[in-house]
Amino acid sequence: MTAAADLYSGFESRLATLGDVALFTRIGGKGPPLLLLHGYPQTHVLWHRVAPALAAHFTLIIPDLRGYGASSCPPSDGEHRAYAKRTMALDVLRLMASLGHTRFSVMGHDRGARVAYRLALDHPAAVERLVAIDILTTFDQWQPGQQLTRRRIFHWAFLAQPAPIPETLIGTNPVDWLEGRFRRGTMARSTDPIDPRAMAHYRASLSDPDRVHATCEDYRASASCDLADDTDDRVAGRQIVAPTLVIWGSQGSLAEVGDPLAFWKPWCRSVEGILVEAGHYIPEENPTALLAAALPFLICDTKVIPP
């Protein structure tokens, strides 16, 4: 841990070495395993407001994705595969296996939701239930018809620019860039909904040039190999087998998408959706609404549809 405040009292801290990456992970709670995956520009700390309630029902495994937080930053490559969602999904699959969990539910927000649905597509036997928060698939997000939504999340195109263009610009004032994400993405259009102790974690992570580069690689992967992987699956008609819940914010990334579920239905055998009052950063802006939406779905004993 860094010197920043520990927002997971009573949780174990572990650094798991998994091939070319070491994932910093918090573990706590009791019950069946639930993997929680954060997004950009955050770290595992994202879940601190919902973790106590979830821990009463689940054993929580909450890692920093590769290149984020206190996890390691593997070297990038010309095809951006080191930060592909397929690679990140394999990271967390190995993490769960190292903890003895071969089947589990997963909830992801933002980039973490992209890792989560890629995990469900690539490893259907591992995923019991899937919750994806405030995203469309990468395939759908890059389609020409999503111009309005892409203007709302302009940082996709910016961060995907060749190195070192975004790295250099962010490096001139990383705190302002970071806080600007929250001023643009929260319903309040300010940093007020973010706990200052959590913000300290995010500042520390994004003030590290290696992590700035790694997170840019995350977005370069989305514009290249992630899009290619999604396109292959769409053409082949592959679907997510696990029952899926999509949650989006009234003023979040999908605010201008008329019917987000219409985009998700071709990807899922079984999908439902819930709108909550929030901007993009739902786990921190409205944890009560997130728990009300996600908990009944996650604790349901309905069996997964066989592959």
Phi, psi of 301 (to 5 degrees): -95, 15
Q: Does 201 participate in catalysis according to the annotation?
A: no
Q: Please give the order of strands across the beta sheet that includes 127-133.
A: 12-18, 21-29, 59-63, 33-37, 104-109, 127-133, 244-249, 271-276
Of the residues 64, 110, 229, 233, only one is catalytic, namely: 110
Helix (H, G, I), strand (E, B) or coil at 240: strand
User: Is residue 244 within 8 Å of residue 273, measured between CB atoms?
Assistant: no
Q: Does 123 participate in catalysis according to the annotation?
A: no
Q: Which of 120, 115, 104 is nearest to 67 (CA)?
A: 115
User: Is residue 132 within 8 Å of residue 261, measured between CB atoms?
Assistant: no
Of the residues 48, 80, 213, 280, only one is catalytic, namely: 280
CA distance 24 to 15: 4
| Residue type for position 178 | L
Phi, psi of 247 (to 5 degrees): -120, 135
DSSP state of 173: -
User: Is residue 245 within 8 Å of residue 300, measured between CB atoms?
Assistant: no
User: Is residue 274 within 8 Å of residue 252, measured between CB atoms?
Assistant: no
| Catalytic residue numbers, as ranges | 110, 280
